[in-house]
Amino acid sequence: MKDQPTAGAGVSSDIIAQSIQQHSSYIVAAVASGYPKYASSEWDANHSVNHSMLNQVKSEKAAGGWQASSDDSEQWIGVCFGSPKKVVKVALQGRSDNKQRVTQFRVKYSLDGLIWHFADDEAYFEGVWDSNTVKTHLFKKPFLARSVRINPTAWNEHISLRFEVYFEESTQL
């Protein structure tokens, strides 16, 4: 038996529940979920994008973060979704147990890999000030993208980081 509308509501609880189920969404951590990562350069295999996930720790075969092969503002690290996603935030962390970290960065995104745009009206985002604190930035203007890049513009010692890009996934049925 279906619920009857409550006085003045005009809509049954079944219809409300169905609407919520059809239009809910959740946040996905792209790097942690295994979406492909890529970078402008890598110092070596121990400092590759394969070691760039948040909370990655230093080991014999992993430096505890990605490190660019050179320190200049043309370096970047990114993730590719394959299909367009609504990107809502990014998070950064310095290199594990090291003073190397990104202290300022920009975020670029693209739908086709050819034309790139800066997030939040070309904003510069504050990076991290130690090795292990995760700093998260919510975008004022979430955007649709297939690829997202973190572009360091200032750093301590070397360009090194661990990162995450979060997108909203819809569960529309």
Closest CA to 96 of 127, 119, 64: 64
List residues bridging with 167 in a β-sheet: 28, 87
What gap in Å lies between CA 70 and CA 3, rounded to an integer? 65
CA distance 93 to 132: 6
Tell me the residue ranges of DSSP E strands in 62-159: 66-67, 77-93, 101-110, 117-118, 125-126, 135-156
List the chain pLDDT tens, one digit each, 173 residues: 444 444 444 545 554 445 445 558 999 999 999 999 999 999 998 888 998 999 988 888 778 899 999 999 999 999 999 999 999 999 999 999 789 999 999 999 999 999 999 999 999 999 999 989 999 999 999 999 999 999 999 999 999 999 999 999 987 65
pTM: 0.83
Ordered by where they begin, the domains of the chain are 26-170 (2.60.120.260)
